[in-house]
Amino acid sequence: MLKPRGCNASGHRGWYEVKCAICAKKLYLGDDIVYQCPKCGPKYNLYYCQADAKRLHMKCSFCGSDLVLVVYST
Ligand SMILES: [Zn+2]
Ligand SMILES: [Zn+2]
């Protein structure tokens, strides 16, 4: 369950690193709380950190859809 993250940047498994679309903060799926637009997210690979999701009132900044919590399981 607990694995060191960022130990091998390329090709590591278990942790999937993404960036917040607003502040470019590094987010780790499976570790951090990450939100995504159900429409734009899979299409454009957009993720939001918790702070920005709150700032956006849980709405996508591109299409206005409600953001959903990304559930990532290994
Ligand atoms: Zn952010
Ligand atoms: Zn959207």
Q: Is residue 38 part of a domain?
A: yes
Q: Is residue 18 part of a domain?
A: no
Give the dihedral sign, CA 65/66/69/73.
Answer: negative
Q: Is residue 44 part of a domain?
A: yes
Q: Is residue 50 part of a domain?
A: yes
Domain count, the chain: 1
Q: Confidence band (pLDDT; 50, 70, 90) for 8? A: very low
Residues less than 5 Å from ion ligand 2, measured at CB: 37, 39-40, 60, 62-63, 65
Q: Is residue 23 part of a domain?
A: no
For residue 23, pLDDT over 90 is answered with yes
Domain that holds residue 66: 33-74
Q: Quick: pLDDT tens for 52-74.
A: 999 999 999 999 999 999 987 76
**Other residues' Cβ atoms within 10 Å of the Cβ of residue 38:** 13
pLDDT confidence of residue 61: 92
Question: What spacing in Å lies between the alpha carbon of 38 and ligand 1's midpoint?
Answer: 17
Q: Quick: pLDDT tens for 31-54.
A: 899 999 999 999 999 999 999 999
Residues less than 5 Å from ion ligand 1, measured at CB: 20, 22-23, 25, 49, 52
As a whole number of Å, the CA-based R_g of the chain is 12
Q: Is residue 40 part of a domain?
A: yes
Q: 3-class SS at 50?
A: helix
Q: What is the value of pTM for the model shown?
A: 0.77
